[in-house]
Amino acid sequence: MKTKKAIYAIILAFALTTFISCKKEANTDSESQATITSLQKQITELTANSTLVNENLIKFDTLDYTVFSNQEWTRLHESHAKNIKVNWPDGHFTTGIEKHIEDLKAMFVYAPDTRIKQHPIRFGSGQYTAVAGIMEGTFTKPMPIGEGKFIQPTGKSFKLPMATIGIWKNGVMIEEFLYWDNKTYMDQIGLGK
């Protein structure tokens, strides 16, 4: 992210320098000043966008590495709006942070060591961020399946790619899209096929 900012700054600084040096050849000083003002505005907008995206990506890292992995649900509001819409890998969606916390907690009932500790891909633009990482854990506790019934743990581990796309407003996500392959997940914990 810092490299992109530096490249933008160099390109825009070069363009600004070129326009300033051409000032003598311009028809009027007002045309040159308008060009300079326009370029300064572009630099400001690019820098602000880059800063905002970087802040949101830092929140995302904290969300997955700390809040999710350590089940610190009281901190979820740091990255999620109260009425967040969450789109799940199986196609259903939920509304509201409390429902999202309930669904997240359910993942830890049977795999209490579930975690995400890396985002090798992380980028964003404007109000959007996207991260890809690895979700892993182990099926070590009984899995509730309703009506007081449980699937006994298999002791098998899972490790699979995941991705999350977030739409941000006022420093928190207002919508989140979660992606991982549920078939691979079930196969790895011994419940597929």
Domains of the chain: 51-188 (3.10.450.50)
Supply the pLDDT for residue 21.
Answer: 61
How would residue 86 be classed by pLDDT, with cut points 50, 70 and 90? Answer: very high
Supply the pLDDT for residue 39.
Answer: 63
Supply the pLDDT for residue 50.
Answer: 75
Supply the pLDDT for residue 23.
Answer: 53
Q: What Rg do the C-alpha atoms of the chain give, in angstroms? A: 23
**pLDDT over 90 for what percent of the chain?**
68
Residue 128 has pLDDT above 80, yes or no: yes
Q: What is the mean pLDDT of residues 126-145?
A: 95
Summarised one tens digit per residue, pLDDT across range 159-169 is 999 999 999 99
Supply the pLDDT for residue 113.
Answer: 97
Please choose, from the candidates 190, 73, 90, 88, the residue with its C-alpha nearest in 3D space to the C-alpha of residue 143: 190
Q: Please report which helix (H) or strand (E) contains residue 80, including its range.
A: strand 80-87
Judged on CB neighbours under 10 Å (0-12, 13-18, 19+), 22 is exposed
Residue 83 has pLDDT above 70, yes or no: yes
Indicate the SS3 state at residue 76.
helix
Residue 135 has pLDDT above 60, yes or no: yes
Summarised one tens digit per residue, pLDDT across range 10-61 is 665 666 566 666 555 545 677 777 776 666 666 666 555 678 888 999 998 9
Mean pLDDT of the chain: 86
Residue 70 has pLDDT above 90, yes or no: yes
**pLDDT over 70 for what percent of the chain?**
78
**29: phi then psi, degrees, rounded to nearest 5:** -65, -30
